[in-house]
Structures are given as C-alpha cells and as structure tokens.
Homo-oligomer: A and B are copies of this chain.
C-alpha cells in the first residue's frame, strides 16, 4: 500500500527554512522596501516631476542595462506592455502565429492576442520548467515549411514569426539549442524574462539572448516599481522604435503634437522609476538572500517522502524567483490537500498557472503534444520566496 504524503513534515520543513520570529501568515512574494526608496521617491515628489519625464526613468533604464549587460533598456508601465511591444517590433502581425510555452503566466499569450496573432503552444521540459527546445525542433520538423524565407505552419497556413522563451519561476530555458532552432526556422527569439531578473544562462543574463526581451517589476517580482516593466534589446534602432511606440508615437517637437503611427501610452511614470532605482541598488543583496532561502528549503526537504525541491539547471544561475516543490507522480493527487494545509498553517503556496491551452480563449489554438505541461502542472507547488524570509 502507498504511504501517504507527510504533509505535517512538509509544513515543518517550510517553517524551518524561514527566518525564526517571522510573523505568519507569510505571503508568496512580497516587496522588500529597505534601501533608498524613501529618499528617491521624496526627491521625486519634491521636484514635482512625478510623471513621464524625469531623471529617474533615465537612471532606472541605465541601471537595468548595466545589470543585465544588454545595451538598451526602455522602461514601460508593466511586463505585459513590454511583451506587447517586443512582439510588435519582432514583426508579429495580425493572423501570424507565435510559439509560446503552454506553462506560463497568461500575459505571455495575451500579448500575442493584442497583436491580433495566435499563440501556438509548446511543451516544456522538466529540467528547466521552460520551453523544451528539442521537442520544439521535432515539432517544427513536422509542421513547419520555409517559403520565401518565412516559416509557415503547413496545417493552418499561417506565418510563424517568433518564439517566446519564458524563464519560469526564474529558471532559464535551455537557450543554446533554442537559438539554433530559431535560426534554422527563421523565427525571432523573444525572451519573456519577467521572472528572471538576476538569472543567468551560461554566465550571460537572461534577456540578453533574444532579439528583444521583456522584464517585469510588478509587486511580486524580485525588484518592484509598484507596477512596471522594461524592454531589453542590444539593437539601438529597435530601442529607439520601442521608445517611440511606447510614448504615443509622438514625433519630437517643441510644441507640435504630431504622431506618425498608432502608438501606446506605455511610459513608466518617474515616481515608479524612483522606487525602481532604489530597488535595483539592492538587487545583489536580494539575490543572495533568495539563493540562501532556496538552499535552506533544499536542505529541509531532503529525505521527505514524495517530494522534490526543484534545483536550478546545471547551465544556469537562477534568481529562484518562486521556489518550486514537485510532488512525485504518485502523490500528484495530494496537491490540493497540501495547498489547503499550508494555507491553513499561514503559509501562502500556489499551484502552477492553469496551462494556457486549458483557458477558454486559447483552447482552440494550435499546439503540440503537451504531456510534460500536463504532468508538471498537476504536481507543482510554489513556496513563499520573498527575499526577507
């Protein structure tokens, strides 16, 4: 007879991993406001430059570029807006298809919809929790045909323009083979690095591999601006276009209001950027704290039946944005019981996002075999991961 999951032991292991003297309930990922946030925000209010023009936006963009090693960063209102613009600038047009992992936060697929394009769902690999480059390659061998330099889905007849690699919970996708597949199939690589600020693939920061990448500074991220995001690119021309598209496509003039295309009001306000500058200063500390927490979880969970703490892939150094516990296949049916019990113990946990192809608006979208997504979503649990825990 199968032995039951040791839920009390798991709860104890979680509590043992967290700082002693912590107040419960404990959230999943909360902001850590402990640096120059006040000073910069106060300076911003005192200057009255709280809105879209101001020195903190420029400074924040510089800090992001410096940290990630990507040449250009354009600050925007949130990660969803960043993804939308990345897709637009990668040439995604109405009626195109974009390959995205079926396991992701809904923004990845929504941004494709905003372009009038259709998400095409790709399976993940258990080793990274992100898009599986080998399975994608095999799938493209089956469904893709190159015509006039364009990648066409031979079943739907639609152009496939781009692949979005989402670094789930901060763990980098296996980028080397993915870059190769994208090259072979004439697909633009976009990174959804919303969760992976501070995560590196083979010494190079995530978001520095795609033609364009998106960051998020939502309240639940490692660095927050209240709400915010950024577009990353090493191509200064694309960065200029990103700035233009995100500032209503207004053509610069001392007084005239002329716009040369349909643009967006996606600028990050200066007051949010001020908060972001103070947060970026603390990013190295946050990363250390989060890696130490992950290490404590790893040790506390060792030897407990039926569960496995998820470790960063060997080729990666991860920010451990949201720590991941995987139930063994045999114990997947106990996932909801564990979620219930942890919440009752004042410990915020959550399952994986509902897979994209299971949401009503995406259920008819093209997709490959998604068996790993199905399997992983049934047995994944996120653990409290704030840097101050």
Residues of A within 8 A of B (CB): 30-33, 37-38, 41-42, 45-46, 48-53, 77-81, 105-107, 110, 113-114, 116, 218-220, 224-227, 248-250, 254-265, 267-272, 275, 339, 343, 348-354, 359-361
Contacts and interface: CB of A to CB of B under 8 A. Distances in A.
Given A45-B33, A258-B354, A265 B80 contact: yes
Given A110-B248, A255-B339, 4 more contacts: A31-B48, A45-B275, A256-B351, A261-B361
A33 B50 contact: yes
8 contacts: A41-B41, A49-B219, A81-B265, A105-B257, A113-B262, A225-B269, A226-B269, A227-B269
Contact of A248 (B30, B107, B259): B107
Between A105, A225, A259, the greatest number of chain B beta carbons within 10 A of the residue's beta carbon is seen for A259
A272 B269 CA distance: 9
- Closest 10 pairs (CB-CB, A-B): A51-B219, A226-B269, A80-B265, A227-B269, A255-B350, A226-B271, A257-B353, A50-B226, A31-B48, A258-B354
Contacts of A80: 248, 264-265
- The quantity of this chain's copies bound in the complex is 2
A48 B77 contact: no
A257 B354 contact: yes
A360 B50 contact: no
Contact of A354 (B256, B264, B349, B351): B256
A31 B226 CA distance: 20
Between A116, A220, A226, the greatest number of chain B beta carbons within 10 A of the residue's beta carbon is seen for A226
B218 A257 contact: no
Contacts of A49: 219
A267 B78 CA distance: 10
Contacts of A106: 248-250, 257, 259, 263
A361 B32 CA distance: 44
Between A42, A227, A272, the greatest number of chain B beta carbons within 10 A of the residue's beta carbon is seen for A227
A159 to B, nearest CB: 19
Nearest to A248: B106
Contacts of A359: 258-260
A275 B275 CA distance: 14
Between A224, A265, A351, A353, the greatest number of chain B beta carbons within 10 A of the residue's beta carbon is seen for A265
B32 A265 contact: no
A343 B255 contact: yes
A219 B254 contact: no
A45 B30 CA distance: 12
Contacts of A48: 30-33
A33 B50 CA distance: 9
B265 A79 contact: yes
A226 B272 contact: yes
